[in-house]
A and B are shown apart, each in its own frame.
Chain A
Amino acid sequence: MKITVNGEAKQYEQAVVTVADLLVLEQVASPEMVSVQQNGDFVATEQFETTLIHDGDEIDFLFFMGGGSIPDFSNI
């Protein structure tokens, strides 16, 4: 199966069936914290297990990233 993941064309020997499978194959840490877009549409976290991936899909993983006022945590 050929999929584009984060802009990179990828071919998988394994059967990638769901978004959850792809997160495992791509060894994404804390998958419940990742925002996933399938062909430009967000997939809700609770639908990772049931959302099917198709040949030619464009998948984007978007990750949380903090910022600048660091490292003092007192501002939290």
Chain B
Amino acid sequence: MSAEPDAPDLTRDSALSDLRERGYAGFFVGCAVLTLATTLSIAAMLLLRSAEFFSEYDAGSFLTGTTFRASNEVFGILPLALATLFVTITAAIVALPIGTLTAIYLSEYASGRVRAILKPLLEILAGVPTIVYGIFALVYVTPVLQLLFPGLPTFNLLSASLMIGIMTIPMVSSISEDAMSAVPDDLRQAGYGLGATKFEVSTGVVVPASVSGIASSYILAVSRAIGETMIIAVAAGTQANMPTVREAGGVIPYVHPGEVLLEPGMTITSAMVHTRGGELTGGSIAYDALFALGLTLFVGTLVLNVASDVVAERYREEY
């Protein structure tokens, strides 16, 4: 490098530099406004095409239809919604307890060195591309599950759900751990002062004090599981299956989880991926149906994200 440091150009002499100043400020504002434009155009595209769809297709039969078959132009969202529901619940059963326990361990028990090793490793779980998880589920997890459930088809929702659960663990653990680390040490010391054990302090003091953060992490993880696409698209096949609706005591309708999870199925997201083939230039009803599905998904995840923010803000304990 040169011996003398470059003196920065600090001239502000002319109209040119004033123009330059305004030009750059304008560019930065433009970039920032671009993010707003992204949101607006997502909303506009989804609403526009969905309106088109519902002008051709009855909204009632979209929401309550029990068959989804794009090739026959039948778009009932119910089987997709049920599959999404069961996948999300299964993933939550895996991710929420494991993620919470991980957060408790990292925030209360782990030494600094262990934490420094575990946290980046957990981040890797969220960084692996989802199609890779899908292939893992299809090629390696399903054969193991077939030992447990003989007759499990190659494409099934169960192995996909388990993989989504593993993928969302770091989402729960990192946000929950932030919330737990924010609990002031005074509270813990007070607990110890009353004679509580470490276990009692962790579960009886720290967890209740950070419950808003934990809840918000749960909602975000659920939102992520709903929006997850490729794991299911790869590992759960291309048929939308409607399970038999039974009635408990003749009144309350219910669905046996096994009829959904142990079968092939499509969620809202994977239906979008599998419907797209040949329908992308526009003009067909299947093209518009994609956007109706997208709108459902967008609204659902947006509500959950806003709910997560509200929970984190409103129920946060101020120390």
A and B: interacting chains: no
Question: Which residues of B pack against A, CB within 8 Å?
Answer: none
